Amino acid sequence: MASPLSLKIEFSGGLELLFSNQRSHRISLPAHVPSPSVKGADAGLGRSEQEQARRPADIAYLIFWLRDNLLKEREALFVEDGTVRPGILVLVNDTDWELEGEGEYVLKDGDEVVFISTLHGG
Amino acid sequence: MAPRSCALCNDARAILKRPKSGQQICKECFFYVFETEVHNTITQAALFNPGDRVAIGASGGKDSTVLAHVMKTLNDRYQYGLELFLLSIDEGITGYRDDSLETVKRNQQQYDMPLKILSYDELYGWTMDAIVSQVGKKNNCTFCGVFRRQALDRGAAVLAVDHIVTGHNADDIAETVLMNIMRGDIARLGRCTMICTQGEDTIKRSKPFKYAYEKEIVMYAYFKKLDYFSTECIYSPDAYRGHARAFLKDLEAARPSAIIDIIHSGEAFEIKEEVKATQKAQQTCKRCGYMSSNELCKACTLLEGLERGMAGAAITEHARKRLDAEGPAPTNLRTIPLFQLPPGPRAAVSITLEAAP
């Protein structure tokens, strides 16, 4: 079993207001997480919960994890259609997530993920 | 996905994918292309002359903070010879504007520029908070926009500047094009993509960030570690522009060049002659002297509505008729002071500026 990943998460551009008004968070994620599975398929194949299809933790998973564990209010301002709301920029280790595969980027221990909202006055 | 080399210098690691072109570039190249594109926008439109006094409309938000930084950088790098000022408007929105003004005061120090703050209260006698309590939350943005436009011109006249620049970016302009189409506002549709607007009686006003994507402005501020204030105006959630913005963001996600393409479509619009003929000619407001499409400018009309307790009068036909039925405006109402552009070349005037903190 791989050890859990220690990650630093930053929110800015107003997003911090949804996360207890805190810009910086340190979190811990399991290295492998359940894959979204077809209902009943695992049972049909005789797989137990432990043997369920698993994938390495990626940013797509992180987004849902944040929504379920850290987000305090107004979910629609952070998540839309299975990813971040359009207008929210994501950086992984100071790099545009579009260069790293967006939601499919596999997280490593010590990674820093920054979410910046652009949806406010200039 | 393995990190790639910058497409421009082939040396450093790429950290950003440009929405305009999909190009993958490194931090230093990004700073350079971003700044250079704004420089090209400025020179191709011949916006400034050496010796010009330029007021930067500063709200403390991301666009105006980056604008102040980039204007200062380009002014130094390319020797535009401009005298730069920060001009800020206090609409009187508690919990929003008072915080962002603190950011502008920090900007004043960081960029070493004189700062002038003008408030709705001193100019019109009404703060936005007071207006919203009378008007409600649906049409209040109309008041704010109209009052702010005049306030910027008056502030600029006080500072004796030749030119105002604002931080409107490509996303803003594309949203405006969409909004004007959705509302059938032909007059505005014809004007909204112009990079520089000037009336006979108003100060030149330009948008150097016209082709700069909001995403890049935010990334620039992030990587340069620029200090800006980022909260939505508490009254904005009900604004009509929100619809255009949500639509535009979805379009951008599907095809990032959509933003620039919408602007190009807007620039290419030509109004049919028979439609142009129905548009109102510009005149001067009989009450305050500001430019106007009607006898009374929009700001005076709005203010009269507020003062007489019929704020909807400037907004709907129905309310206007009810107001007119009450007879002419009483002569003791508060009005906006007469607006006059200082004549001739801008002489140095003694003006009260904000003391640096």
Predicted local confidence at residue B287, as pLDDT:
85
Strands across the sheet containing A112-117: A24-29, A5-12, A112-117, A88-92, A95-96
- Using a CB-CB distance cutoff of 8 angstroms, which residues of chain B are in contact with residue A89? 215, 218-219
Is residue B252 within 8 Å of B111, Cβ to Cβ? no
pLDDT at A68 over 80: yes
Predicted local confidence at residue A122, as pLDDT:
65
- The SS3 call for residue A95 is strand
Q: Mind telling me how many Å the CA of A3 is from chain B's nearest CA?
A: 23
Beta pairing partners, B283:
B292
Q: Mind telling me how many Å the CA of A65 is from chain B's nearest CA?
A: 23
How much of chain A is in helix, strand and coil states, percent to nearest 5? 25, 30, 45
**B144-188: per-residue pLDDT in tens?**
888 888 888 888 888 899 899 999 999 999 999 999 999 888 888
Q: What is the CA radius of gyration of chain B?
A: 21
**B31-40: per-residue pLDDT in tens?**
999 999 999 9
Is residue B63 within 8 Å of B168, Cβ to Cβ? yes
**Tens-level pLDDT at each residue, chain B (357 residues):** 456 899 999 999 999 999 988 999 999 999 999 999 999 999 999 999 999 999 999 989 999 999 999 999 999 999 999 999 999 999 888 877 777 888 899 999 999 999 999 998 888 888 888 888 888 777 788 888 888 888 888 888 888 998 999 999 999 999 999 999 998 888 888 888 998 887 666 788 999 999 999 999 999 999 999 988 887 777 777 678 888 998 999 999 899 999 999 999 999 988 887 877 777 777 888 888 777 888 888 888 888 888 888 766 666 666 777 777 777 767 777 777 766 655 544 444 445 666 655
- What average pLDDT does this structure show over A104-119? 94
**Nearest Cα to Cα of residue B25 among B35, B36, B16, B37:** B16
State how beta strands B115-119 and B83-90 pair: parallel
Where helices occur in chain B by DSSP H, the ranges are 27-44, 62-77, 97-111, 120-124, 128-135, 140-159, 170-183, 186-191, 214-223, 241-254, 258-268, 273-276, 298-307, 317-325
A67 vs B238, higher pLDDT: A67
Is residue B199 within 8 Å of B282, Cβ to Cβ? yes
User: Which of B24, B230, B252 lies nearest to residue A13, judging by beta carbons?
Assistant: B230
- Using a CB-CB distance cutoff of 8 angstroms, which residues of chain A are in contact with residue B89? none
- The SS3 call for residue B78 is coil
- Interface residue of A10, A21, A96, A105 to substitute, partner B, most B CBs within 10 Å: A96
Burial of A119 (0-12, 13-18, 19+ CB in 10 A): buried
Main-chain dihedrals φ then ψ at residue B7, nearest 5 degrees: -70, -20
Predicted local confidence at residue B4, as pLDDT:
85
3 state SS for B315-343: CCHHHHHHHHHCCCCCCCCCCCCCCCCCC
Contact A122 B217 (CB under 8 A): yes
Please indicate if any CB of chain A lies within 8 Å of the CB of B219.
yes
Residue with tokens 């797989």: A47
Q: Mind telling me how many Å the CA of B280 is from chain A's nearest CA?
A: 31
- Using a CB-CB distance cutoff of 8 angstroms, which residues of chain B are in contact with residue A17? 231
User: What is the number of H-type helices and E-type strands within chain A?
Assistant: 2, 9
- Using a CB-CB distance cutoff of 8 angstroms, which residues of chain B are in contact with residue A82? none
Predicted local confidence at residue B346, as pLDDT:
43
Residue of A nearest to B13 (CA): A95
Locate A41 and state its tokens. Answer: 């398929």
- A vs B, Cβ pairs < 8 A, gives 75
| pTM for this model (two decimals) | 0.86
B312 vs A68, higher pLDDT: A68
Cα-based angle A24, A26, A29 (whole degrees, multiple of 5):
140
Contact B62 A101 (CB under 8 A): no
pLDDT at A70 over 80: yes
Contact A101 B172 (CB under 8 A): no
**B window 228-257, beta carbon within 8 A of A:** 230-233, 236, 245-246, 249-250, 252-253
Distance CA A118, CA A104 (A): 23
Contact B249 A87 (CB under 8 A): yes
Predicted local confidence at residue B326, as pLDDT:
73
- Interface residue of B1, B67, B210 to substitute, partner A, most A CBs within 10 Å: B1
Q: Mind telling me how many Å the CA of B259 is from chain A's nearest CA?
A: 13
User: Which of A94, A117, A121 lies nearest to residue B59, judging by beta carbons?
Assistant: A121
Beta pairing partners, B53:
B83
Q: Write down the mean pLDDT value for chain A.
A: 86
A45: Cβ contacts below 8 Å, ≥ 6 apart: none
Q: Mind telling me how many Å the CA of A9 is from chain B's nearest CA?
A: 15
B313: Cβ contacts below 8 Å, ≥ 6 apart: B301, B304, B305, B319, B320, B322, B323
User: Which of B1, B214, B219 lies nearest to residue A99, judging by beta carbons?
Assistant: B1
Is residue B65 within 8 Å of B107, Cβ to Cβ? yes
- Using a CB-CB distance cutoff of 8 angstroms, which residues of chain A are in contact with residue B214? 118, 122
